[in-house]
Amino acid sequence: MTSPAKNLIDALALPASCRVDQRIAKKLLSDNGAPSAADKRLINEGIEEIQWVAALKPNTVGVAAYRDQQREYLEIAVLVVTLRTIDGKVPSPARTAELVQRAVPYPLVMLTTIDGRMELSLVHKRWAQNDPGSTVIDGELLTVSLDAFVEGGDSSNLITARAIERQFFESLAVTRQPQASLLTLYQGWMDCVQALLVARLTGYFTVPDNAEQAAVRRQAFHECQDLEAEASRLRALAAKERQMSRQVDLNLALKRVQERLSAARNRL
């Protein structure tokens, strides 16, 4: 296991009873999670190895299973997927994460690594509507790159980034997550990742105190993403516009978007 992945696994502070530490054959993924020839090639050639690190079950972690009409969480699996280049090109970690998450029926804490870089991804699963015996991804794949903080920037930004990353790692211990069920435990880890994404906008790291606060933050974060994209679009249009009246209209529209963005950030 690479050092960045080991650091994060250590931060989870999993009890020894959860550890599996076995390799998984790539054939299991290519047979179950490769809808296209390109995806099959990504799995067969782009993945160096898949390490099944841990299995969190009621009898290994002391947290109850969860069942309702939408989903059944009997186990949380922790995987480390190590990638390698294909014809000199780095495989897409995002696509790899999606393929693996779709292929494995359990909720996954998944680490994708290559050349010292790492992405962490989590997503909820639910029963498929047309096939109650199968599971599908439920909602957006929550992904964060853990090398983004140290790329560029001045020294003060780097110091802040490292402090935020340290706080994030400290928040991950399994004993610090909600213990009501495997669903709430998994959601606790998702809230930690969301807090890290928010910290990149606000400059400070805080984990929400309850589910309601987490939901408000998720909505505000997505609104910020949409408004930032709209602001970028308006800036680009204004820079190309030659008619003064049209420039004024675009700048006014940009100002309104920035005001909405400021309000959304205040809710983070």
Q: Residue 12: how many CA atoms within 13 Å on its side-chain side?
A: 29
pLDDT-based confidence at residue 159 (cuts at 50, 70, 90): low
Average predicted confidence (pLDDT) for the chain: 87
CA angle 64/69/71 to nearest 5° reads 55
Distance of alpha carbon 111 from alpha carbon 172, whole angstroms? 14
39 or 195, greater pLDDT: 195
Q: Which long-range contacts (CB under 8 A, 24 or more apart) does 22-25 make?
A: 22/51, 22/52, 23/49, 23/50, 23/51, 23/52, 24/50, 24/51, 24/52, 24/79, 25/50
Longest dimension (CA), the chain: 69
- What are the tokens at 70? 């939408």
Name the pTM for this structure. 0.85
> Phi and psi of 185, rounded to 5°?
-65, -45
Mean pLDDT, to the nearest integer, of 112-141? Answer: 89
Distance of alpha carbon 239 from alpha carbon 122, whole angstroms? 39
Pick the range with the lowest mean pLDDT from 21-25, 43-47, 140-144: 43-47
pLDDT-based confidence at residue 34 (cuts at 50, 70, 90): low
Residue 186 pLDDT > 80: yes
Distance of alpha carbon 113 from alpha carbon 120, whole angstroms? 9
Residue 1 pLDDT > 80: no
Distance of alpha carbon 80 from alpha carbon 48, whole angstroms? 11
Nearest to 142 by CA among 258, 222, 32: 222
DSSP letter, residue 250: H
Residue 80 pLDDT > 70: yes
pLDDT-based confidence at residue 37 (cuts at 50, 70, 90): confident
pLDDT-based confidence at residue 133 (cuts at 50, 70, 90): confident
Which residues are within 8 A (CB) of 61 and not within 5 positions of it... i.e. 6 or more apart? 14, 15, 17, 18, 174, 185
Nearest to 106 by CA among 49, 32, 43: 32
SS3 91: coil
The whole-number pLDDT of residue 33 equals 62
- What are the tokens at 75? 């186990």
CA dihedral 192, 195, 200, 201 (to 10 degrees): 170
- What are the tokens at 103? 């292929």
